[in-house]
C-alpha cells in the first residue's frame, strides 16, 4: 500500500514545515514540498490512498517509554492487558510503548523476559519493546543483563523502595550499575528512600491516618530528593548513565540539573499526573460512591505533590530547559472496584498506579496551547527523545525517509473531552482525567503504514504491533 498525506504541517523535533508525506508499505518514502511530483509522477493520482491533512499537524507517532501492562502488584494485576492497553495507546496517538518485564526476588530474569514475550506476542495493536526490572541483583542477574542486550533489551530498572518486593540495597545497585557501565545499558532508577517511607507509613497508620491522602504525605519530597542524589552518586562512581523515572518533586529536578551541569549522563522523565494533578485535589476528593476513599483514584508512586509548593510549575520549566528530557505515563491502571478498594481502611494497601497511556499526547498538546512548550518540543518530549533515549531513533520518533511510517494526523481545531462518561478505551472503571478538556484532537493514527485509528473509529487489530529490538541509547553525550 502507498499513502500520500497531503497539505499538512509536518512537525518534527527540529521544526515545522508545510509538506506532503509519501508512505510506501511500512516506511516513509519521502517528505516533499506540497504538491510535488516524484520523478515526474503525479503522486496523488498514483498512490493507493490519499489523506488530506489541511489545517492539521502531521507528527511522528508517540513513544511511551514507561508502561506496565498486566503487571502483578499489590495482590492484583494492572487492569490493562497488552491488547487493551496498546489499543488505548493507539487511540491517543501513541504508536510504540516500552513495557517493563517484572522480576521478583524468587524469579529468574530470563524466565520473566520470555514470559513477557508470551504475554505480548500477537496481542499488541502497536509496536512494543521491553525494559527489564531487576529486583534481586545476583551473579545470575548480571549475566542476564549481558544476554538481554543481545535481545534488544538495553535498559534496566532498579528500585530504592518497596522492601521485600523490588528494593535493592546500594551494594546490589552498585554491581548492576558497574555492569551497565561495561555493556552500555541505560540504568533506570525508582528513586525514593524506602526505609524512610516505611517508617512514616507505619507511624501514620498507628495514628489512625488511613485515607488515600496519606499515601502522598508518607512519601515526602525529601525521600525522593535523597534517593535521586544517591542514585546520581552511584552513577557517578561507576560511570553508568542514569535515567530517573517518574520525577515528581522539584527538589529531585534540582539534583538532576546539577548533575547535568557537571557534565554527567543523568536524565529524567516526568509524567502527566505530576504536571496537572496535585495533592490538594486528592485531599478534597469525595464522592457519594466512595466517600473519602475517592482519592485512591490518584494514588501512584512517586506521589502527587502539593501545588502550593510549586512542583508543577518547576516540572514544566524543566521540560522547557531540558533538565527533564521527556514525558512518559508510568501507565499502571487499576480499577476502583476489587483493586484500588483493597486499600480501604489502609492506604498502604492501595495498588499504586494511574492510567494515562491514552491521554499523554493530548495532555502534552494542551501544554502547547497554554504556551508552556512549543510544537517541536511537544514532539521532542513525547516521541523523538524517547526514541533516542532507548535506541529506536531513525525507525521511531521522526518523519523522514526510511523511518517507520508511525504517523499521527492531529487537528488543532478539534476538541477532546477526556474521560467524560467513561468514554476512554483503557480497561478501567474510572478515569483519573475525568472532565479534562483538550483543545486538539487525534484524527488519524498510522502504525507502520497501516491506519489503525481513523475519524473516531478503531480499525486496527491485535497483532498489528511487533517487538522492537532496541539498540543502545542514542542520547548519551
**Residues 108, 15: one domain?**
no
Q: Would 369 be classed as within a structural domain?
A: yes
Where is the domain boundary, 345, 362, 389? 389
pLDDT in tens, 123-176: 999 999 999 999 989 999 999 999 999 999 999 999 999 999 999 999 999 999
What is the reported pLDDT for 468?
98
Regions of the chain with pLDDT less than 70? 420-422, 477
**Residues 132, 121: one domain?**
yes
**Residues 365, 261: one domain?**
yes
3-state helix/strand/coil string of the chain = CEEEEEEEEEEECCEEEEEEEEEECCEEEEEECCCCCECCECHHHHCCEEEECCCCEEEECEEEEEECCCCEECCEECCCCHHHHHHHHHHCCEEEEEEEECCCCCCCHHHHHHHHHHHHCCCCCCEEEEEEECCCCCHHHHHHHHHHHHCCCCEEEEECCCCCCCECCHHHHHHHHHHHHHHCCEEEEECCCHHHHHHHHHHHHHCCCCCCHHHHHCCCHHHHHHHHHHHHHHHHHHCCCEEECCCCCHHHHHHHHHHHHCCCCEEEEECHHHHHCCHHHHHCCCECCCECCHHHHHCCCCCCCCHHHCHHHHHHHHHHHCCCCEECCCECCCCCCCCHHHHCCCHHHCCCCECCCCCHHHHHHHHHHCCCCCHHHHHHHHHHHHHHHCCCECCECCCCCCCECCEEEEECCCCEEECHHHCCCCCCCCCCCCCEEECCEEEEEEECCEEEEECCEECCCCCCCCECCCCCCCCCC
Into how many domains does the chain fold?
2
CA distance 366 to 377: 12
**Residues 29, 122: one domain?**
no
Where is the domain boundary, 389, 409, 434? 389
What is the reported pLDDT for 184?
97
**Residues 310, 454: one domain?**
no
What is the reported pLDDT for 314?
98
**Residues 305, 405: one domain?**
no
pLDDT in tens, 357-371: 999 999 999 999 999
Expressed as residue numbers, the domain containing 369 is 62-389
**Residues 78, 33: one domain?**
no
What is the reported pLDDT for 419?
77
What is the reported pLDDT for 354?
96
Q: Would 466 be classed as within a structural domain?
A: no
Q: What is the CATH number of the domain that holds 197?
A: 3.20.20.140
Q: What is the CATH number of the domain that holds 12?
A: 2.30.40.10
What is the reported pLDDT for 476?
87
**Residues 279, 426: one domain?**
no
**Residues 172, 30: one domain?**
no
Q: Is 233 exposed, middle or buried (0-12, 13-18, 19+ CB in 10 A)?
A: middle
Q: Would 93 be classed as within a structural domain?
A: yes
What is the reported pLDDT for 281?
87
CA distance 311 to 225: 13
Task: Say if strands 76-77 and 72-73 run parallel, antiparallel, or are unpaired.
Answer: antiparallel
How much is the mean pLDDT over the chain?
Answer: 96
Where is the domain boundary, 389, 412, 438? 389
Q: Would 476 be classed as within a structural domain?
A: no
Q: Would 477 be classed as within a structural domain?
A: no
**Residues 86, 46: one domain?**
no
What is the reported pLDDT for 80?
98
Amino acid at each position: 500500500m502507498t499513502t500520500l498525506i497531503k497539505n499538512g504541517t509536518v512537525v518534527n523535533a527540529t521544526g515545522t514545515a508545510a509538506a506532503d508525506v509519501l508512505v510506501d508499505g511500512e516506511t516513509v518514502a519521502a517528505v516533499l514540498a506540497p504538491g510535488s511530483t516524484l520523478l515526474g509522477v503525479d503522486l496523488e493520482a498514483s498512490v493507493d490512498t490519499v489523506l488530506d491533512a489541511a489545517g492539521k499537524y502531521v507528527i511522528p507517532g508517540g513513544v511511551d517509554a514507561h508502561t506496565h501492562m498486566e503487571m502483578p502488584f499489590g495482590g492484583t494485576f494492572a487492569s490493562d492487558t497488552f491488547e487493551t492497553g496498546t489499543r488505548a495507546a493507539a487511540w491517543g496517538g501513541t504508536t510504540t510503548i516500552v513495557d517493563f518485564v517484572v522480576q521478583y526476588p524468587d524469579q529468574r530474569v530470563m524466565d520473566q523476559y520470555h514470559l513477557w514475550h508470551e504475554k505480548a506476542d500477537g496481542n499488541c495493536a502497536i509496536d512494543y519493546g521491553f525494559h527489564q526490572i531487576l529486583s534481586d541483583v545476583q551473579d545470575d542477574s548480571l549475566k542476564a543483563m549481558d544476554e538481554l542486550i543481545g535481545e534488544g533489551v538495553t535498559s534496566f530498572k532498579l528500585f530504592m523502595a518497596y522492601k521485600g518486593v523490588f528494593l535493592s540495597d546500594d551494594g546490589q545497585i552498585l554491581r548492576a550499575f558497574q555492569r551497565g557501565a561495561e555493556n552500555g545499558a541505560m540504568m533506570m532508577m525508582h528513586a525514593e528512600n524506602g526505609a524512610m517511607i516505611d517508617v512514616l507509613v507505619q507511624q501514620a497508620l498507628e495514628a489512625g491516618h488511613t485515607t488515600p491522602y496519606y499515601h502522598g504525605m508518607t512519601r515526602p519530597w525529601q525521600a525522593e530528593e535523597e534517593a535521586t542524589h544517591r542514585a546520581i552518586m552511584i552513577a557517578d562512581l561507576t560511570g553508568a548513565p542514569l535515567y530517573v523515572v517518574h520525577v515528581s518533586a522539584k527538589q529531585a529536578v534540582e539534583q538532576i540539573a546539577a548533575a547535568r551541569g557537571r557534565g554527567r549522563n543523568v536524565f529524567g522523565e516526568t509524567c502527566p499526573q505530576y504536571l496537572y494533578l496535585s495533592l490538594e485535589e486528592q485531599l478534597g476528593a469525595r464522592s457519594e460512591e466512595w466517600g473519602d476513599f475517592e482519592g485512591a483514584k490518584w494514588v501512584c508512586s512517586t506521589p502527587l505533590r502539593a501545588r502550593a509548593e510549586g512542583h508543577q510549575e518547576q516540572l514544566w520549566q524543566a521540560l522547557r530547559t531540558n533538565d527533564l528530557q521527556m514525558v512518559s505515563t508510568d501507565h499502571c491502571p487499576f480499577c476502583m472496584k476489587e483493586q484500588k478498594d483493597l486499600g480501604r481502611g489502609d492506604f498502604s494497601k492501595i495498588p499504586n498506579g494511574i492510567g494515562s497511556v491514552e491521554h499523554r499526547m493530548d495532555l502534552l498538546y494542551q501544554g502547547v496551547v497554554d504556551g508552556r512548550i512549543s510544537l517541536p518540543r511537544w514532539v521532542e518530549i513525547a516521541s523523538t527523545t524517547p526514541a533516542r533515549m532507548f535506541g529506536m531513533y531513525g525507525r521511531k520518533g521522526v518523519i523522514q525517509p526510511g523511518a517507520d511510517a508511525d504517523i499521527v494526523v492531529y487537528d488543532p481545531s478539534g476538541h477532546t473531552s477526556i474521560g467524560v462518561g467513561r468514554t476512554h478505551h483503557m480497561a478501567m472503571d474510572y478515569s483519573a482525567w475525568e472532565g479534562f478538556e483538550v483543545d486538539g484532537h487525534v484524527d488519524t493514527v498510522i502504525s507502520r503504514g497501516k491506519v489503525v485509528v481513523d475519524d473516531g473509529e478503531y480499525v486496527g487489530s491485535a497483532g498489528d504491533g511487533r517487538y522492537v529490538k532496541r539498540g543502545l541509547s542514542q542520547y548519551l553525550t
